[in-house]
């Protein structure tokens, strides 16, 4: 019997991602839902057993769905304790900095970080979001400077 790790080098990136996703129950069998691992009975469906599972996947992985779901869950308010920004002044931040990683679908768009600390979103007002992203930029610049000094 071949294990998933043997197969993984030949799998398309998207399949690989669905297999490795800690939120997905899929064990890798074709014909099983790639979210809940139930057998797919609807002949028009290939990856998901139901609309519900398709939506669940999108909500945790596709940026525009993940973003609107995070805002809705936070009731369109900044999640920093005591923040007085008005409702709907809200933006969604990746807790783990993307560092230019882009907005492709992936486990970095999970609503909450998984055990390995990957992913996780937080809803912030514009002011708090700027604060977070500029602090990240400062620490990136500092580590670049440190690297330069080492290689000199």
Contact 48, 35 (CB under 8 A): yes
Q: Is 121 or 125 the residue whose CB approaches Zn ion more closely? A: 125
Site string for Zn ion, 124-143 (x = CB under 5 A): -x--x---------------
Q: Which phi and psi angles does 32 have, rounded to 5°?
A: -110, 145
Q: How far apart are CA 49 and CA 59, in angstroms?
A: 16
Instruction: Quote the distance between the C-alpha of residue 14 and its chain's center.
Output: 14
**Using CA atoms, how far apart are residues 4 and 132, in angstroms rounded to an integer?**
39
* Residue 143 beta carbon to Zn ion: minimum distance, rounded to whole angstroms: 27
Residue choice 4, 7, 27, 83 for contact with Zn ion (CB under 5 A): 83
20-79: contacts with Zn ion (CB under 5 A): 21, 23, 33, 35-36, 49, 53, 78
Lookup result for tokens 């809940």: 36
- Return residues touching Zn ion (CB under 5 A): 21, 23, 33, 35-36, 49, 53, 78, 80, 83, 85, 107, 125, 128
């Amino acid at each position: 019997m071949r294990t998933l790790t043997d197969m993984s080098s030949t799998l398309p990136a998207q399949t690989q991602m669905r297999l490795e996703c800690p939120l997905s129950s899929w064990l890798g069998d074709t014909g099983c839902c790639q979210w809940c691992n139930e057998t797919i009975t609807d002949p028009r469906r290939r990856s998901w057993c139901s609309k519900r599972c398709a939506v669940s996947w999108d909500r945790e992985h596709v940026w525009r769905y993940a973003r609107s779901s995070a805002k809705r869950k936070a009731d369109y308010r900044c999640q920093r304790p005591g923040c007085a920004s008005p409702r709907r002044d809200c933006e969604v931040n990746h807790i783990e900095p993307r560092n230019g990683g882009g907005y492709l679908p992936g486990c970095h768009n999970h609503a909450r970080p998984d055990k390995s600390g990957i992913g996780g979103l937080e809803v912030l007002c514009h002011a708090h979001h700027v604060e977070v992203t500029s602090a990240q930029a400062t620490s990136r610049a500092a580590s670049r400077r440190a690297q330069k000094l080492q290689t000199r």
